[in-house]
Amino acid sequence: MHRLQTVLRRVPLTISLAAVVVGASIILRTLWEPLAGRPTVNEIAYGLPSLESGSWWTPVTGALVALQPAHYLVILPGLVLFAGFAEWRLGVSRAAIAIAVTHLWGVLAASVLLWVSRNHGYGWATALSLQWDAGPSAGFLGAAAAASATLTPPWRGRLRAGLATYALLFLIHLGSLADLEHLLGVGGGLFLGPLLVGRAPRLSRRPLTRRDFRLLACAFFVLAALEGLIQPFTTADGPLASTLSQQARSQELRDTEFWGSVVQAALWFWLARSLYKGRRRAWRWATGLLVAVVGIQLVGLIMMLVAREPGLPVVLYELCGNALGLTVLVTGRHAFRNPSPRKARRTAGNLLAPSADDQRSVATALLEEEGTVNRLAWMTTWPENRWFESGQYAGYIAYRVHAGVAIGLCDPVAARESDRSGLLGAFSNSVHAAGLVPCLFTVTAEAARHATSSGWHCLQVAEEAVIDLSTLAFTGKPWQDVRTAMNQAAKLGITLRLGQLGGMPRGIQMQVKAISSEWVEDKGLPEMGFTLGGVDEALDPHVRVGLAIDAESTVHGVTSWMPIHEVGGGDPAGWTLDVMRRLPGGFRYSMEFLISSSCLAFKEEGCRVASLSGAPLARSSAVDGSALDRGTLDAFLDRLGAALEPYYGFRSLHTFKAKFQPHLYPLYLVFPDDTALRRIGLALSRAYLPEAGIRDFVALARSSH
């Protein structure tokens, strides 16, 4: 109810208009009695007959009623939806201007066009010049088109394409006076929108990308499918009217046409989906079909011209449309080179193919030799990853594929910034070519800068807590909790054991595994992965493990530290915290003791930095994110973080790390298109909980309420 009240307060104009329309329909009895056929229709409804008879006020009075009672089932929801959207985006005053101007433009411009074109042998225009119309539909559709100027790409283009497609298809296949007014209203709104937001209308041109060709080909077959579905319900008196009379067709023939159009639409939708993914086989089928259809239609056109048969407008329309679709396919043939998913998995080197056995060792060696700017980069060597390499650039990008998304992990690994930037572009091209959505998760500001310069979007998803070891000293009030932990550990005889877990006694290893297993069981959900390691990752010989052990060799707490290889490679310049586990009922300050003691040991070894990593799905207000894109995924990550908090305590962990007075560095998600945010959100859920089942996600959903 609170959300509903908020929405209602934002759209007072829309609510008022809807109330006026309902009130007028009751007063004039049009809610249950048709206005069409009444003697007063010429004084209430608008159209060329009303204007010629001197009823100049009808564009206003006609906007408040409908010709038929059934029309209210479309007019009222449309008014609430489209006018409400325009008011939400433009505000009350500008939305009122948009509705009024586009309505008047649609009604008056249609009347002028019909006045000019009637009685010249064009039966459709002559018939419309004798008709009336009523309702505010041209106004609210035009206002929605005007409000599209406030949206950012690609939503702006998609809304405009949807409105224009609706208006064109209905005008061509139904051809009523309202359809003509809708097309003019939408066109007027597209021109008016930029003026309302303070910029001049303009048409921009740019070279078509591979993705553009896929979208155009997909849109062509979607439109063809929609045309086939509405064809059985259309009339023969539209602007492309032919001698094929709708009334002359029998009911049996109409039923046959309907089911035939359903089958055809299913085939067209399948082709559209496959072309959107760039499938080579779908391109061959689509091209072959259109070549055959265009050939048949050309022959039919020639025969029609020779025999002087009627119906030329319909044939020309269909021929031009199919020829345009064929042109898109042929011109953009380079965009449709992806094999089928089954074949892709059998193709060596493909992004969907399993990684080779030696790729991990090559990636590990490259990270040690070249280094990178991301202190969390050791995660890119974990065995669950796949590794993308380019012959043009030195380095790699580690990634995983979930829900049709290739999620790159951390920054590209390379010594030179130019190679890291080039790898990002090459990875994007390869992922798009494979029909997947690319993104990179937990990247630094450098990768975010490279991505945004290429037109991508970035979103802060975590903060990395970094301790400067060169100035580390546990003095002053802010370090009181840390000093207390170290003093308590000394009293209880608990010491730090730092080394490789695989080289420790068998009994110690068994305790570590038991602590980890008990921690996972207490959560009630599977152990998370992706950017969170476990005991298996801690057994890596390159990783160091810190244990809080008492005099009886009881392990009270476990931490693991991944090496940090800065640009230039060589010995680790520092260590990054990964695993944190505490024995239930054990030493209370195990984590404070382990982190502080480990940092002191790293400082004595000459390391410069220690990273406490980034708590997933947790941020603080300390880092300014005002310049970032905040969108659908941002809200999704907040909800997911809140749902996971009772189980994994990420936000509590984020607060815990503040005890060590770290410097906070934002970590970002970068992605090319915000229309894929929901898919990316699903992919991240699968990446973090790859073994979670339906019950687990139900538990998460319940915990978020």
What is the 3-state secondary structure of 242-305? CCCCCCCCCHHHHHHHHHHHHHHHHHHHHHHHHHHCCEHHHHHHHHHHHHHHHHHHHHHHHHHH
pLDDT of the residue at 556: 93
The answer to whether 582 and 556 have CB atoms below 8 angstroms apart is yes
pLDDT of the residue at 242: 44
Distance CA 177, CA 47 (A): 8
Q: Which residue has the higher pLDDT, 313 or 578?
A: 578
Tokens of 136: 């505010």
C-beta neighbour count of 170 within 10 angstroms? 19
pTM above 0.85, yes or no: no
Give me the mean pLDDT over the 504-524 stretch: 78
Distance CA 703, CA 75 (A): 41
Sequence-distant (≥ 6) Cβ neighbours of residue 293 within 8 angstroms: 322
Cis? peptide before 662, omega within 30° of 0: no
- Tens of pLDDT along 424-434? 999 998 998 88
Beta-bridge mates of residue 668: 443, 460
Among candidates 681, 678, 204, 671, which has minimal Cα distance to 452?
A: 671
Distance CA 115, CA 642 (A): 63
pLDDT of the residue at 521: 59
Sequence-distant (≥ 6) Cβ neighbours of residue 41 within 8 angstroms: 35, 67, 132
Give the architecture (CATH level 2) of 2-196: Up-down Bundle (1.20)
The answer to whether 647 and 524 have CB atoms below 8 angstroms apart is yes
Give me the mean pLDDT over the 570-593 stretch: 89
Find tokens 């998995």 and name the residue: 345
pLDDT of the residue at 703: 47
pLDDT at 386 over 70: yes
- Tens of pLDDT along 314-339? 788 888 989 999 999 998 887 787 66
Among candidates 230, 130, 128, 229, which has minimal Cα distance to 183?
A: 128
pLDDT at 46 over 90: yes
Give me the mean pLDDT over the 1-12 stretch: 75
pLDDT of the residue at 284: 92
Among candidates 145, 167, 288, which has minimal Cα distance to 223?
A: 167
Q: Is 269 exposed, middle or buried (0-12, 13-18, 19+ CB in 10 A)?
A: middle
Distance CA 155, CA 157 (A): 5
pLDDT at 245 over 50: no
Give me the mean pLDDT over the 575-598 stretch: 90
Type of residue at 541:
P
The answer to whether 333 and 291 have CB atoms below 8 angstroms apart is no
pLDDT of the residue at 531: 78
pLDDT of the residue at 678: 79
Distance CA 557, CA 548 (A): 5
Type of residue at 19:
A
pLDDT of the residue at 674: 76
pLDDT at 459 over 90: no
Distance CA 293, CA 321 (A): 11
Instruction: State the chain's mean pLDDT as an integer.
Output: 83
Residue 689, SS3 per DSSP: coil
Give the architecture (CATH level 2) of 466-614: 3-Layer(aba) Sandwich (3.40)
Sequential DSSP letters for 155-208: HHHHHHHHHHHHHHHHHHHT--HHHHHHHHHHHHHHHHHHHHTTS---------
Q: Percent of the chain scored above 90 by pLDDT?
A: 46
Among candidates 363, 375, 580, 353, which has minimal Cα distance to 467?
A: 375
- Top-confidence range, 225-239, 393-407, 665-679: 393-407
What is the largest distance, in Å, between two alpha-carbon atoms of the chain? 107
- Domain chopping of the chain, boundaries: 2-196, 210-335, 466-614
Give me the mean pLDDT over the 221-247 stretch: 67
pLDDT of the residue at 705: 45
- Tens of pLDDT along 617-672? 555 544 444 344 444 455 555 655 555 544 444 556 667 888 888 999 999 999 98
Distance CA 234, CA 286 (A): 26
pLDDT at 21 over 90: yes
pLDDT of the residue at 355: 65
pLDDT at 310 over 60: yes
pLDDT of the residue at 492: 92
DSSP state of 570: S
- Tens of pLDDT along 358-379? 788 889 999 999 889 999 999 9
Distance CA 142, CA 187 (A): 7
Find tokens 């390499």 and name the residue: 389
Type of residue at 398:
A
- Tens of pLDDT along 187-225? 999 999 999 998 888 876 666 667 678 888 998 999 888
